[in-house]
Structures are given as structure tokens and as C-alpha cells.
């Protein structure tokens, strides 16, 4: 089963104001202060009546629309997500439970029927328990494998009560191949759709009847996956979970700036703040990173037509803010040609547990230890009294955004 929460953020907001989510006319807006702020979630009625959906911008909202626009409350969404997942865990063991996003989880119920009955009975029981506990409407896609469950969810379960749909291998010709738009199929986005169209392929049935060699030649291993997926084939099993390569994954933070940043010192200030944020996350998890990357977006295409640049560099494994800032500053100044900035981000990869400490030829060991203790102390003060209790002086300058963003979770109001 693939289960998601219908219009999750908007539903939580409806419940906060004692409304039934499916009857509410509300939407959640990120960054009220910016006209370019966008809708993070809209209630089903808003979607149906006004076409307001994820990605709609604030300036597209018209006064005649009868919509209650509210600010996000990320902490609530996270808390309720935990509550709902704990309900799922009443039905399957943890090895058969997989959290896909803040409002979507997969459950392998193959071995649970003896306790809880048929797929339909289990789905209904889970939906009832989620609704009774939280007020959230859960929608359930059921399938012979993860892919079919996900496709059943995205393409059928979400449309009508009782918010359930089942897709099996025998449904592939009638349901999967009949999906209206290629992009409604998980893993096909706008670019892949265009490339398929150029090959004369407009439906999933046509993908299925394209030789795998042809797809492989055009899309590599993703072409192989596309071929199998077009036949509804997916052998992944939650209990035999794929472990991502440690070095391939990482994390980072980014932000769209409220105005153009044109001065080097401003750019460096905001980059240092984001780097500090990422370094703090590393330290909190007791990890070090050995690759650090920056992503810089311009407010308009530059003289060469470039809209952004990104670059990465290898560093001695570290989670120290000062070392990471040094690398970020070097990369920025080496690549920046004075373009006005509107988007900045920092991320780390090749993240792992520290095995040893790399001392530095120019820094005495005592000083190194003292510096580590200083950063740990800063972390402790902030976790106890809040980020704003102790900030860098540069954060008080014009370019800084860390203080005003201190209360955000995932970039949205906590």
C-alpha cells in the first residue's frame, strides 16, 4: 500500500480551526511578505473551484477567490506525521514500513492479512484510525508492488471517496497504459516526456511496446527502468531495503533571497550563515563531510546567458564551521563574476562518522581542540536558548538573513 494524506498541510490547518478538511476553503502560503511566495498546499475545494494548487504564486490569488490563506506551521505537520506513522506501525513491522515523504508512506501488508483481513478491510481500518485520531483523510493506493501501489494512489485513489484504489498486473493494459499524461507516471517529468515525444511515444502503452534496447540507448539504465515500469514490473521489497551508498547522499540548505545581492561582502555573509547551518547539522548528528558544494542562482541571465553556477570541492573531513566557510568562500570568489544573486545554497556529500581527527600543520593541536569546544559550546547555547541567543556580528549586517530565519523549519514558519 502507498498511503498519503489528502492535502496534508491544508488539512492540518483546517483541523486547527475546527473545520472538516474536505469542506474547508483554505490554502497554506509560504513567505507572506513576498509576492512571489507560493502555495504549499490547497484544500480540495480550492483546487476544484479556483485551480489553486501547489506552486500557485501569491500574486495569482484574486480577491474574489473565497480562500482562507494561512501561514505554515511546520512543527505541527511533523508532529502529526509522526502520529500517523505510528498508526501505520500498528499494522506492519518496521521492516515492512517505509516513509517516503512528510505525507506519504509505503506499507508491505503481504504478511498482515491473517491479522487484519483483506486489503480493502485493512485500508479502511487504517483510514478510520487516522481520521479518528487526527482528523486527516488518508488515501490508499494498493498494488502488487510498490510501483503499482504508487500509481494507483496518484492516478485513481485521490479522486473519489472512499479514497482507495487497487492496481494489479492484470490492470496494466486498462489502467497503467491509459494514463492520460506521461508526466502523471512516477519518474516521468517534463524533460523525459519531451524526449519520449520526439521518439514518437505519447502513451505508456507505446513505451511498453518500444524495444528495451531503444529505450536503453536513449536513457541508459533509466530507460531499462522505464521499460519494466511500463509493464508494471517492480521487484523492490521493503523488507530487503536498498541501502544508499554512503558517499552518494548528503544534505544542505538553500534560500531564495528577498532582493538582489550585488556586493561581495553581502554574498559572503549569507553564504557563511548557510554554511554554519549545514555545519551545525553535521555536528548535531556527529558526522563529518569530505565534499562541500555551493549553488548560486542569478537574478537574471548574465552576459553569457548563464542563470546559475554550482561547484564543489573536496575537503579534509570536517564539521567545523570555519573550515567549511573557508572552502565556500574560496569556491564563490573563484567562480563569481559579479552577477546579482537571488538564490544561494550549500550542501555536503560524502558524509560519514569521523574515524580520526586530521590535525593541521599550521594549527597547534591545543588550539584545534579549543576550537572544537568553542563550536560545541555555541551549539549547546543555541539548542538551549534558541539560535538568536548567540549570533555572529556579520549576521547583524545588511546581507544577513539568519536572524530573521531563525524560527523556520524546512524554510517555512515552524
Partner DNA sequence: TCTGGGGTCCTAGGACCC
**How far apart are CB 268 and DNA at their closest, in Å?**
18
**Rule CB under 7 A: is residue 342 a binding residue for DNA?**
yes
* Binding status of residue 203 toward DNA by CB under 7 A: no
Q: What is the Cα–Cα distance from 230 to 143, expressed in whole angstroms?
A: 14
The neighbouring-strand residues paired with 69 are 27
Per-residue binder mask for DNA (CB under 7 A), 92-111, x = binder: --------xxxxx-------
Give the single-character DSSP code of 151.
H
Of 239, 313, 326, 394, the one binding DNA by CB under 7 A: 313
What distance in Å separates the CA atoms of residue 22 and residue 7, rounded to the nearest whole number? 9
Residue 398: CA count within 13 A, CB half-sphere? 9
Q: By CB under 7 A, is residue 75 in contact with DNA?
A: no
**Helix H or strand E segment including 122:** helix 119-134
Binding residue for DNA, selected from 251, 357, 379, 413, defined by CB under 7 A: 251
Pairing of strands 138-143, 97-101: unpaired
By the rule CB under 7 A, 205 interacts with DNA: no
Nearest to 401 by CA among 280, 270, 278: 270
Q: In 10 A of CB 378, how many CB atoms?
A: 18
| Pattern 170-189, DNA, x by CB under 7 A | -------------x-xxxxx
221/393 with CB nearer DNA: 221
Length of the chain: 414
| Location of C-alpha cell 520526439 | 198
Q: Which helix (H) or strand (E) holds 343?
A: strand 341-352
* Backbone phi, psi, residue 300, to 5°: -155, 160
The piece of 115-123, 254-262, 381-389, 390-398 that touches DNA (CB under 7 A) is 254-262
300 counts as catalytic: no
Residue 348: exposure state from Cβ atoms within 10 A (0-12, 13-18, ≥19): buried
From residue 355 to residue 394, what is the string marking binding to DNA with x (rule CB under 7 A)?
Answer: ----------------------------------------
Question: CA–CA separation, 292 vs 255, rounded Å?
Answer: 17
Does residue 347 touch DNA according to CB under 7 A?
A: yes
Q: x/- site string to DNA, residues 220 to 249, per CB under 7 A? A: xxx-------------------x-xx--xx
Q: Which is nearer to DNA, 37 or 135 (CB)?
A: 37
Distance CA 38, CA 104 (A): 21
406 binds DNA (CB under 7 A): no
Comparison of 125 and 284: residue with beta carbon closer to DNA: 284
Q: How far is the CB of 118 from DNA (least distance, A)?
A: 26
Of 343, 368, 371, 392, the one binding DNA (CB under 7 A) is 343
C-alpha distances (whole Å) from 183 to each of 187, 197, 215, 299, 317 are: 8, 12, 17, 29, 40
Work out whether 326 is an interface residue with DNA (CB under 7 A). Answer: no
Do the beta carbons of residue 43 and residue 29 sit within 8 Å?
no
For residue 412, list its beta bridge partners.
409
13, 96, 104, 156: the catalytic one is: 104
Cell readout for 41 is: 498546499
Min separation Cβ 103 and DNA, Å? 6
What element of type H or E holds 412?
strand 412-413
- Please identify, using beta-carbon distances, which residue of 325 and 348 lies nearer to DNA: 348
Per CB under 7 A, the list member of 170, 307, 373, 404 interacting with DNA is 307
> Binding-site residue total for DNA (CB under 7 A)?
60
Given the complex with DNA, which of 158 and 368 has the nearer CB atom?
158
- Does 309 bind DNA (CB under 7 A)? Our answer is yes
Instruction: Tell the residue number behind the cell numbers 567545523, with chain if given.
Output: 320
What is the grid cell recorded at 103?
A: 505525507
Count of beta carbons in the 10 Å neighbourhood of residue 313: 14
Residue window 29-58: x/- pattern of binding to DNA, with contact defined by CB under 7 A: -xx--x-xxx-x-------------xx-x-
Interacting residue ranges for DNA, rule: CB under 7 A? 4, 30-31, 34, 36-38, 40, 54-55, 57, 100-104, 154, 183, 185-193, 220-222, 242, 244-245, 248-256, 291, 293, 297, 307-314, 342-343, 345, 347, 410-412
- Catalytic site residues? 104
Amino acid at each position: 500500500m502507498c498511503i498519503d494524506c489528502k492535502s496534508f498541510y491544508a488539512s492540518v490547518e483546517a483541523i486547527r480551526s475546527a473545520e472538516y478538511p474536505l469542506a474547508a476553503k483554505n490554502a497554506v502560503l509560504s513567505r507572506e511578505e513576498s509576492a512571489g511566495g507560493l502555495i504549499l498546499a490547497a484544500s480540495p475545494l480550492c483546487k476544484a473551484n479556483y485551480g489553486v494548487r501547489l506552486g500557485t504564486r501569491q500574486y495569482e490569488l484574486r480577491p474574489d477567490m473565497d480562500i482562507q490563506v494561512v501561514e505554515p506551521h511546520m512543527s505541527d505537520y511533523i508532529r502529526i506525521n509522526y502520529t500517523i506513522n505510528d498508526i501505520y506501525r500498528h499494522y506492519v513491522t518496521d521492516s515492512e514500513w517505509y516513509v517516503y515523504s512528510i505525507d506519504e508512506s509505503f506499507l508491505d501488508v503481504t504478511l498482515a492479512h491473517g491479522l487484519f483481513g483483506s486489503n480493502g478491510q485493512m485500508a479502511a481500518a487504517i483510514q478510520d484510525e487516522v481520521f479518528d485520531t487526527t482528523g486527516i483523510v488518508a488515501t490508499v493506493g494498493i498494488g502488487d508492488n510498490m510501483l503499482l501501489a504508487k500509481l494507483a494512489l496518484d492516478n485513481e485513489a485521490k479522486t473519489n471517496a472512499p479514497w482507495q484504489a487497487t492496481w494489479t498486473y492484470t490492470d496494466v493494459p486498462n489502467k497503467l497504459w491509459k494514463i492520460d499524461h506521461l508526466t502523471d507516471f512516477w519518474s516521468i517529468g517534463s524533460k523525459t516526456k519531451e524526449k519520449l515525444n520526439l521518439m514518437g511515444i505519447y502513451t505508456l502503452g507505446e513505451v511498453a511496446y518500444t524495444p528495451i534496447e531503444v529505450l536503453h540507448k536513449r536513457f541508459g539504465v533509466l530507460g531499462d527502468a522505464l521499460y519494466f515500469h511500463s509493464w508494471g514490473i517492480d521487484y523492490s521489497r521493503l523488507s530487503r531495503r536498498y541501502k544508499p551508498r554512503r558517499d552518494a547522499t548528503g544534505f544542505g540548505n538553500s534560500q531564495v533571497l528577498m532582493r538582489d545581492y550585488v556586493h561581495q561582502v553581502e554574498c559572503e555573509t549569507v553564504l557563511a550563515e548557510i554554511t554554519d547551518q549545514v555545519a551545525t547539522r553535521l555536528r548535531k548528528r556527529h558526522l563529518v563531510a569530505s565534499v562541500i558544494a555551493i549553488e548560486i542562482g542569478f537574478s537574471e541571465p548574465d552576459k553569457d546567458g548563464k542563470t546559475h553556477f554550482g561547484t564543489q570541492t573536496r575537503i579534509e573531513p570536517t564539521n567545523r564551521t570555519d573550515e567549511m566557510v573557508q572552502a565556500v568562500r574560496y569556491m564563490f570568489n573563484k567562480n563569481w563574476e559579479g552577477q546579482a544573486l537571488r538564490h544561494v545554497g550549500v550542501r555536503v556529500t560524502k558524509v560519514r562518522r569521523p574515524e580520526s581527527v586530521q590535525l593541521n600543520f599550521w594549527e597547534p593541536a591545543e588550539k584545534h581542540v579549543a576550537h572544537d569546544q568553542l563550536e560545541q559550546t555555541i551549539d549547546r547555547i543555541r539548542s538551549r536558548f534558541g539560535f538568536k541567543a548567540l549570533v555572529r556580528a556579520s549576521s547583524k549586517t545588511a546581507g544577513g538573513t539568519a536572524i530573521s530565519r531563525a524560527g523556520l523549519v524546512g524554510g517555512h514558519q515552524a
